Amino acid sequence: MWLAEAGKFVGAKVAGAIITVAVLAGGFWCYRNWDQVEAFGHIVKLVLVWLLVVAVLPWTSFFFMRSLLDYQSSLTNAKFANFASVAIIAAFWVVDIFIALWLGDFSISGGFTWFVVLLGFVAAGAYNYVICESLARYVDS
């Protein structure tokens, strides 16, 4: 019984010492490589700005969704009505892509970076579709 308690006590002290050394080493590394820390923070800031734009942009369709639905209902061809919906979603998607490339100074390099960026573009397009369609259902009801 006392052996288990002693093990917990010693284990807690060892874990605390390891965590303290790791935090101090990380702080020292950040102190010695401050330019890399700033560059990473700048990238995080740009990504957050882009995510904010992507999150807000399709919600702006709420202001013209009623007139768009009225226009679609006045069209005699269903293909043209569907094209209007796709055009709005595609326009939002193109703006999302342009803003991302602009924030990145139109200089994205590296295979993994391009993979992540393209994955973000696909996610932005899917988000635009979901928001625009849900707003259309809300306005139509």
Tell me the CB-side half-sphere exposure of residue 85, using CA atoms within 13 A. 19
Whether 47 and 105 map to the same domain: the answer is yes
| 93-137 confidence digits (pLDDT tens) | 999 999 999 988 888 888 888 898 899 899 999 988 888 888 778
Is residue 47 over pLDDT 70? yes
Residue in this structure with the two tokens 């768009």, named with its chain if needed: 68
Whether 117 and 63 map to the same domain: the answer is yes
Whether 59 and 25 map to the same domain: the answer is no
Whether 21 and 41 map to the same domain: the answer is no
Could you tell me the residue range of the domain that residue 20 belongs to? 1-32
| 52-93 confidence digits (pLDDT tens) | 999 988 888 877 777 777 777 777 766 776 777 788 889 999
The tally of domains found in the chain comes to 2
Whether 79 and 91 map to the same domain: the answer is yes
| 28-44 confidence digits (pLDDT tens) | 887 888 888 888 888 88
Whether 45 and 87 map to the same domain: the answer is yes
Whether 73 and 117 map to the same domain: the answer is yes
Is residue 26 over pLDDT 90? no
Whether 81 and 116 map to the same domain: the answer is yes
The dihedral region occupied by 108, where left means phi > 0, alpha psi between -120 and 50, and beta the remainder, is beta
